Structure 1
Amino acid sequence: MRVATGFTLVELVMVILLLGVMATFSSQFIGIGTQIYGDASRREQLMSDARFAMERLNRELRDAVPGSVRVEDDAGMSGDQGTCLRFWPIATASRYLGSAVSAGLTMVTPQVLPEQDRDLAIVYPLASPALPLEQGCLYGQCVAAVTDVGSPASGALSLTVDGAFTQDSPGRRVYFANQQVLYCVRGGSLWQMAKPLGESLTSGETTQLMAEHIRPASHYFYREPAAFNQSEVGVRLEFERSGERVLFNHKLELLNVP
Structure 2
Amino acid sequence: MRRNPGISFLSRRKVCVCRPATTRPDSIAPGRRSYGGDSVGKCHGGFSLLELIVVIVIIGIIAGLTTRFLGDTVSGYVTTSIYDQLARSGRLAVERVNRELRNAAPNTIRVSGNCIEFLPLVASASYQDQAVTYAATSTASIPAPILNISAASDRWDVFDLSFTPVAGTNYYLLIYPYGPGSGAGDPYQGTNPGPLVGFQTIDTGTALPAGVTRVQAGASHRFLRHSPVRRLYIATQPVSFCVLGNQLLRYANYGLQAVQPVPPPAGSAQVLATEIQTTDPDIPFTAAFRYQSASLVRNSVVALDFRFMRNDARGNANWVRLYHEVEVANVP
Contact 1:89 1:181 in 2 (8 A): yes
Q: 2:287 aligns with which of 213, 219, 222?
A: 219
Displacement after TM superposition at 1:112 (Å): 2.7
| Residue of structure 2 equivalent to 1:108 | 159
Distance verdict in 2 for CA 1:126–1:226, change over 3 Å: closer
| Residue of structure 2 equivalent to 1:8 | 48
Contact 1:192 1:207 in 2 (8 A): yes
Contact 1:92 1:114 in 2 (8 A): no
Give the distance between the partners of 1:33 and 1:208, measured in 2 at CA: 38
Contact 1:213 1:240 in 2 (8 A): yes
Q: 2:187 aligns with which of 123, 128, 133?
A: 133
Q: 1:158 aligns with which of 195, 210, 214?
A: 214
The yes-or-no answer on 1:236 pairing with 2:288 is: no
Displacement after TM superposition at 1:229 (Å): 6.1
TM-score, length-normalised on structure 2? 0.65
Contact 1:115 1:146 in 2 (8 A): no
Q: 2:101 aligns with which of 56, 61, 69?
A: 61
Q: Per-residue displacement from partner, 1:163-210 (whole Å, max 9, x unpaired)?
A: 132322222221112211111222222211111534795515471112
The yes-or-no answer on 1:35 pairing with 2:75 is: yes
Give the distance between the partners of 1:167 and 1:18, measured in 2 at CA: 88
2:250 is paired with a residue whose SS is strand
Q: Per-residue displacement from partner, 1:88-110 (whole Å, max 9, x unpaired)?
A: 11122222344423633222343
Q: What percentage of residue pairs aligned between the two structures are identical?
A: 28
1:91 is paired with a residue whose SS is strand
Q: Which amino acid aligns with 2:63?
A: A
**Higher relative helix content:** 1
The yes-or-no answer on 1:174 pairing with 2:232 is: yes
| Residue of structure 2 equivalent to 1:79 | none
Q: Larger Cα Rg: Structure 1 or Structure 2?
A: 2
Give the distance between the partners of 1:87 and 1:216, measured in 2 at CA: 21
Q: Which amino acid aligns with 1:119?
A: Y
Distance verdict in 2 for CA 1:134–1:221, change over 3 Å: same
Displacement after TM superposition at 1:16 (Å): 2.2
Displacement after TM superposition at 1:249 (Å): 3.1
Count of residue pairs brought into register by the alignment: 247
Contact 1:178 1:196 in 2 (8 A): no
Q: Which amino acid aligns with 1:111?
A: S
2:321 is paired with a residue whose SS is strand
Displacement after TM superposition at 1:111 (Å): 3.3
Structure 2, gaps ≥5 residues long: 1-39, 130-142, 280-285, 312-316
2:58 is paired with a residue whose SS is helix
Whose relative contact order is higher, 1 or 2, with alpha carbons under 8 Å and at least 6 apart? Answer: 1
The yes-or-no answer on 1:123 pairing with 2:155 is: no
